[in-house]
Amino acid sequence: MTVERGLEVWIPARSAGVIFCHNHPSGVLRPSLEDRELTSRLRAAGDILGIKVLDRLIIGGVNPTAFFSFQGHDLMEEPASYGAKKNTRQIER
């Protein structure tokens, strides 16, 4: 997923808000640094366009109903600051 691909979908749909979902085939539901950076970039793009990124979900664990929610772990409240110092706060499942 890229921010550009997100824009291709958000703008024509006139979205007011979006929820992103992607899988981790490894089954590890913990977001990587790249996941967190992309989420920040998507939020920054959404802020510019007036489209709220409501949540980002990670699926793909051994349990088919298991998922990781950025919103559920209070990670959507982090500043959407592309290019800012990386947040290294530990994430617990």
Higher pLDDT, 87 or 19: 19
* Single-letter residue type at 82: Y
CB 54, CB 18: distance < 8 Å: yes
Query: 3-state DSSP call for residue 81?
Result: coil
Q: What is the mean pLDDT of the chain?
A: 79
20 CA to centre of own chain = 6
Domain boundaries, the chain: 3-69
Percent of the chain with pLDDT over 70: 76
User: Which strands make up the sheet holding 67-69, listed edge to edge?
Assistant: 17-23, 52-59, 67-69
For residue 35, the model assigns a pLDDT of 93
Superfamily, domain 3-69: Cytidine Deaminase, domain 2 (3.40.140.10)
Sequence-distant (6+) residues with CB within 8 A of 74 are none
